[in-house]
Chains A and B, each alone.
Chain A
């Protein structure tokens, strides 16, 4: 993915453990935003799960999960 090189450089720079912590936090915040968005506009849980799966797939495609 286009961001994979940046991810690798960042991981090498700050260490795998610290990097994974930060990435995990970012992912959970992102999912929380999706959840809050769905609750605010009455989107049901099935559609919410689809949105979260789409985000995960895109994260992989863009290289964030490298």
Chain B
């Protein structure tokens, strides 16, 4: 598992619930470290361990936590960089949705060993989409819902999102675009300097 994914969970917990909470979680996992390094690789099982302890610590359903992680990744001020990288995908939320097919390749372009499950967007009626998410990253579908919701806010679009389910080979998310220009959205300056 790429350290960036573990690191994302760490950032979420630290910035949402505080460092102490994170340290408590990591101690409870029995691992002999507290910090994940974004540029290292970790055993796949570790993330599952961390999430299980986190679920108990926060006493919330794991799916909700995962969705919050997705929202956090796009909307938290500390995560500007990821939000910007996603906004490069297109001018509108619809552009963004259609660019999701490219997301794994985009991720790989930035960091060659960062593997994201394949995504496939189908439009089955005007404004009604189904996003299929391949396996490989357990819980990624739930995280995606959080990302899609936060990106809708970012573009000023009004959408409804529903987790349809998982058949073991892929997870499916239903997306209904109610209004693509519901609110002003956040501006995206192509040339902004990010420090």
Partners in one complex: no
The chain B residues found within 8 Å of chain A, CB to CB, are none
The chain A residues found within 8 Å of chain B, CB to CB, are none
